[in-house]
Homo-oligomer: A and B are copies of this chain.
């Protein structure tokens, strides 16, 4: 799919290197270059969903984006914190949950996770199409081609040969002007629902966070009835931000309660659960950096100088790796000292997170025991509501991994609140268990991934076997078809599939 693309030319592009060399050396000349960079348009025809097509116009931005490949570590978080398998029992996350890799891997990580299962054709797979939504600039392309509701209909396997380019240029940039742009329509809908300015009405600095918020936000799949182009009534699972009551954990808890929403019923406790996704934008907004007007891009995409050219580093990563450019323009302490302060924040979060997870896991298991002994839904209703709210607050506060830094106080408050609600449920549970002669019941050991997944009923090896079969067959077919359709250059997949949590086994 070719589209007219009006790109702002870079003097540093091919053919302009000689001119750049001459210009270097004086502030006035740099200023002239800056003006030129911001004014010279270049028209080109490219497949905007393929980031490699943007390279010729933005070689530095592209090269740095490609370096997100360096964020390649996979940490099996269920191995590290086995309680997670209890907390998410009955939900995909109990199967597999890893620390995130760089943007370069977004599509492959979605394909590889055991959460997305092992589809065998374009109608199977446990997950809906919505699961692709944040992974690729192919998504706005498909929304444009098929219509938003149609895009949000069916199983994710339906788009296996379509969503093949990982998070890239067109996700955050307008292909006509190269300006910052949102590429998902639900973001403006959420901003309007929250009474906030739309993207267009936001400041440039706000936009430097809002493009990130397209994906790094809390969402749920809102069931939406519509009539397709074929005249048939269908149900779309539309990614929706629950911002209508406000952007705090408490606001969203109310939103979900008011519409009686649940992501799943917990397998052990039967509590009606909400899975917090990654409300990074929302929780960061409560922190001191955001309140001082710092945008996501200020730290995660710091301005970088190469010769006479200054550009935003697109190797989005942990700013502790780029402190000279991310932190030092504002802070006056040594990098070492700042790292020490960040470590304190991390340690406090870990301390409270462990406590909250422990009590939550026990609350689930104690509820399960009570049910096994005959406790009724009436007896357990308030307990389950407590578990729902406690786990929501815990999850909200840690699901976007950097919250301990972005908003340490809000994170600690939420973890403490989660723990208090979990403990209130446990206090009630002792009384219910007493009624069924099990007052001294003690939750079984969940201190290893094996034990915890067993308690959660996760058939790990079976899931891995099915996934490996899928990878050897349907997944291979997807990429072949994608190349034939012109959706994919295989070079862009270089090295994406060398590791996962279960390849190691």
Q: Is A355 an interface residue (CB 8 A)?
A: yes
Q: Is A423 an interface residue (CB 8 A)?
A: yes
Q: Is A229 an interface residue (CB 8 A)?
A: no
Say which residue of B341, B412, B413, B439 sits within 8 Å of A291 (CB atoms). B341
The complex places the Cα of A419 from the Cα of B413 at a distance, in Å, of 12
Q: Is A82 an interface residue (CB 8 A)?
A: no
The complex places the Cα of A348 from the Cα of B286 at a distance, in Å, of 12
Q: Are A409 and B439 interface neighbours, CB within 8 A? A: no
Known contacts A409-B348, A416-B352; A440/B430 CB under 8 A? no
Q: Are B409 and A345 interface neighbours, CB within 8 A? A: yes
The complex places the Cα of A434 from the Cα of B439 at a distance, in Å, of 9
Q: Are B352 and A413 interface neighbours, CB within 8 A? A: yes
Residues of B within 8 A of A344 (CB): 286, 409
Q: Is A200 an interface residue (CB 8 A)?
A: no
Nearest neighbor of A352 in chain B, beta-carbon distance: B416
Chain A 427-458, CB-CB to B under 8 Å as 1, else 0, gives 10011001000011000000000000000000
The minimal Cβ–Cβ distance linking A287 to chain B, given in whole angstroms, is: 10
Q: Is A415 an interface residue (CB 8 A)?
A: yes
Residues of B within 8 A of A423 (CB): 419-420, 423, 426-427
Residues of B within 8 A of A434 (CB): 430, 434, 439
Residues of B within 8 A of A355 (CB): 416-417, 420
Q: Is A120 an interface residue (CB 8 A)?
A: no
Question: Which chain A residues in 401-431 approach chain B with CB under 8 Å?
Answer: 408-410, 412-413, 415-417, 419-420, 423, 426-427, 430-431
Residues of B within 8 A of A408 (CB): 409
Q: Is A378 an interface residue (CB 8 A)?
A: no
Nearest neighbor of A420 in chain B, beta-carbon distance: B355
Q: Are B341 and A410 interface neighbours, CB within 8 A? A: no
Say which residue of B292, B341, B416, B430 sits within 8 Å of A412 (CB atoms). B416
Q: Is A351 an interface residue (CB 8 A)?
A: yes
Residues of B within 8 A of A337 (CB): 291
The minimal Cβ–Cβ distance linking A352 to chain B, given in whole angstroms, is: 5
Known contacts A288-B341, A412-B412; A351/B440 CB under 8 A? no
Q: Is A333 an interface residue (CB 8 A)?
A: yes
Residues of B within 8 A of A413 (CB): 348, 351-352, 412
Chain A 332-373, CB-CB to B under 8 Å as 1, else 0, gives 010001000100110010011001000100000000000000
The complex places the Cα of A413 from the Cα of B409 at a distance, in Å, of 9
Chain A 98-134, CB-CB to B under 8 Å as 1, else 0, gives 0000000000000000000000000000000000000
The minimal Cβ–Cβ distance linking A273 to chain B, given in whole angstroms, is: 22
Nearest neighbor of A408 in chain B, beta-carbon distance: B409
The complex places the Cα of A359 from the Cα of B417 at a distance, in Å, of 13
Residues of B within 8 A of A348 (CB): 409-410, 412-413
Residues of B within 8 A of A419 (CB): 416, 419-420, 423
Say which residue of B292, B409, B412 sits within 8 Å of A333 (CB atoms). B292
Question: Which chain A residues in 20-52 approach chain B with CB under 8 Å?
Answer: none
The minimal Cβ–Cβ distance linking A394 to chain B, given in whole angstroms, is: 12
Residues of B within 8 A of A420 (CB): 355, 359, 419, 423
The complex places the Cα of A44 from the Cα of B419 at a distance, in Å, of 62
Question: Which chain A residues in 283-304 approach chain B with CB under 8 Å?
Answer: 286, 288, 291-292
Residues of B within 8 A of A410 (CB): 348
Residues of B within 8 A of A439 (CB): 431, 434
Nearest neighbor of A418 in chain B, beta-carbon distance: B416
Residues of B within 8 A of A351 (CB): 413, 417
Residues of B within 8 A of A292 (CB): 333
The complex places the Cα of A344 from the Cα of B413 at a distance, in Å, of 11
Residues of B within 8 A of A333 (CB): 292
Residues of B within 8 A of A415 (CB): 416
The complex places the Cα of A463 from the Cα of B436 at a distance, in Å, of 50
The complex places the Cα of A351 from the Cα of B409 at a distance, in Å, of 12
The minimal Cβ–Cβ distance linking A11 to chain B, given in whole angstroms, is: 34
Which 3 residue pairs are nearest across A and B when measured between Cβ atoms?
A416-B416, A423-B423, A412-B412
CB-defined A-B contacts under 8 Å, sample of 11: A348-B412, A352-B413, A352-B417, A359-B420, A409-B409, A409-B412, A412-B412, A412-B413, A416-B416, A420-B423, A434-B439
Sample of 4 more A-B contacts, CB < 8 Å, known A348-B410, A409-B409: A292-B333, A412-B412, A430-B430, A431-B439
